[in-house]
Amino acid sequence: MKTNKQWRLAARPAGLFKESDFSWREEPVPEISDGSVLVRVIYLSLDPTQKVWATTDSYLPAVPLGEVMRGGGVGVVERSRHPSFAPGDIVQGMFGWQLYAAVPAQTVNKLPKGIPLGAFLGVLGHIGLTAYFGLLDVGQPKEGDTLVVSAAAGAVGSLAGQIGKIKGCRVVGIAGGDEKCRWIREELGFDAAINYRAEKVADALKRECPEGIDIYFDNVGGEILEAALGWLKLHARIPMCGAISQYTAAEMRGPRNLSNLISRRAKIEGFLVSDYMPRAAEAIPKLLEWMNSGRLKFRLDIVDGLEQAPRAVNKLFEGTNLGKLAVKVSPEP
Ligand SMILES: NC(=O)c1ccc[n+]([C@@H]2O[C@H](COP(=O)([O-])OP(=O)(O)OC[C@H]3O[C@@H](n4cnc5c(N)ncnc54)[C@H](OP(=O)(O)O)[C@@H]3O)[C@@H](O)[C@H]2O)c1
């Protein structure tokens, strides 16, 4: 009999995740009921929002203690009791931090063949859709706009910046470290990069965006958001995608200069990629075309083995991930 392996949430994490926030469980692979599929997980996506899910109720209820940790992923159908799915189908869904997931077929998305699976973790997955709709729908870029992106060498940020370039923006990225800054400038085509660990962001923004910022795509919140709010052009837009600097902070820090939005007649707007899922078919062909033509580059940071997940997830908060972070749970077919 096959064994399932799982990480269950054992405690509400404070600060970075600790291994003791999870418990490892091995148990028989579940049976499936009518209308369900059994998926063997291949890649588990690690996302900053998992810290929020583990900690508190937010746009989704907190993961209950004792339950399998929530997480999206890509897997292969091993058994099906639904006519639309057959063993061997490659699927995407919320499978959790485990090797096998029994899930209702309607919660699963069948993936086309012939595309590297890693693309569905990045450009063609929720990451690509976040960058696409966050920038284009919320940010409303116009040719010649100055776009600033934080966590710019990360999964969402690197794509948002490149989409900004495709739309004719001048793009300035903010990232932690010289190598990340080199990568976004020299390999992704950003116009400039600011290493926030090496210099004061407020000063660097004045140097790199002499006329101010039209769009600030915010992935981090906190002090960098405050610096961007201090250097907005009239009618600037701030798509608020994430606030990773706050997810592990002991105390939430708000920007002190929100009132600049008044004098700049500017707009800050939060968004969730899940709201855009019904419109995914609009974005995917464009993202695919840009990926295939080399205009949209991405990299993956794959950690081997489900056992590593509790340690690996902290790479997001320490800034040591180089690209979209995921765990390889089992081999590709
Ligand atoms: N709204 C939505 O629907 C949605 C969907 C997906 C993701 N998001 C958000 O998008 C953001 C990026 O997520 P991702 O999955 O693409 O992760 P990612 O950017 O690949 O990884 C996170 C990066 O954040 C940076 N970071 C960590 N702590 C920081 C701090 N205190 N100050 C500044 N930067 C910090 C690190 O890069 P450095 O080395 O540059 O510091 C790290 O590599 C997150 O805030 C996430 O919650 C939102």
**CATH number of 85's domain:** 3.90.180.10
Coil vs helix vs strand at 224: helix
The CA–CA distances, whole Å, from 24 to 20, 46, 52, 62, 69 equal: 10, 17, 21, 19, 11
* Together in a domain, 232 and 159: yes
* Together in a domain, 78 and 166: no
| pLDDT at residue 250 in the model | 82
Position in ligand 1 atom list of the atom nearest CA 152: 40
| pLDDT at residue 172 in the model | 99
Any domain includes 321: yes
Position in ligand 1 atom list of the atom nearest CA 244: 45
Under-70 pLDDT residues of the chain: none
Q: Which range marks the domain in which residue 24 is found?
A: 3-122+298-328
| pLDDT at residue 251 in the model | 80
Pick the residue whose CA is nearest to atom 24 on ligand 1: 151
Q: Are 196 and 176 contacting, i.e. CB atoms less than 8 angstroms apart? A: yes
Give residue 155 CA to ligand 1 midpoint distance, Å: 8
* Together in a domain, 118 and 143: no
* Together in a domain, 134 and 232: yes
* Together in a domain, 83 and 175: no
Which residues does 139 contact at the CB level (< 8 Å), separation at least 6? 147, 215, 217, 237, 239
Pick the residue whose CA is nearest to atom 8 on ligand 1: 242
| pLDDT at residue 201 in the model | 98
Coil vs helix vs strand at 78: strand
CA nearest 329: which of 36, 107, 117? 117
| pLDDT at residue 252 in the model | 76
* Together in a domain, 68 and 99: yes
For 19-52, write each residue's pLDDT tens digit. Answer: 999 999 999 999 999 999 999 999 999 999 999 9
Task: Give the orientation angle of helix 126-133 with respect to helix 155-166, to 10 degrees.
Answer: 50
Give residue 15 CA to ligand 1 midpoint distance, Å: 15
Entry pTM: 0.97
**Which tokens hold the place of 161?**
């910046």
Q: Determine whether the shortest distance from the Cβ of 175 to ligand 1 is under 6 A.
A: yes
| pLDDT at residue 1 in the model | 72
How far apart CA 311 and CA 71 sit, in angstroms, is 15
| pLDDT at residue 331 in the model | 98
Q: Determine whether the shortest distance from the Cβ of 74 to ligand 1 is under 6 A.
A: no
Q: Determine whether the shortest distance from the Cβ of 135 to ligand 1 is under 6 A.
A: no
| pLDDT at residue 180 in the model | 98
* Together in a domain, 156 and 41: no
* Together in a domain, 52 and 164: no
Q: Determine whether the shortest distance from the Cβ of 159 to ligand 1 is under 6 A.
A: no
Q: Determine whether the shortest distance from the Cβ of 202 to ligand 1 is under 6 A.
A: no
For 129-149, write each residue's pLDDT tens digit. Answer: 999 999 999 999 999 999 999
Which residues does 254 contact at the CB level (< 8 Å), separation at least 6? none
Any domain includes 333: no
Residue 75: how many CA atoms within 13 Å on its side-chain side?
A: 30
Backbone angle region of 88, left / alpha / beta, with phi > 0 → left and psi within -120 to 50 → alpha: left
* Together in a domain, 65 and 155: no
Count up the domains in the chain and report the number.
2
Q: Determine whether the shortest distance from the Cβ of 92 to ligand 1 is under 6 A.
A: no
CA nearest 147: which of 69, 233, 207? 233
Position in ligand 1 atom list of the atom nearest CA 174: 40
Any domain includes 285: no
The CATH number that applies at residue 269 is 3.40.50.720
* Together in a domain, 135 and 254: yes
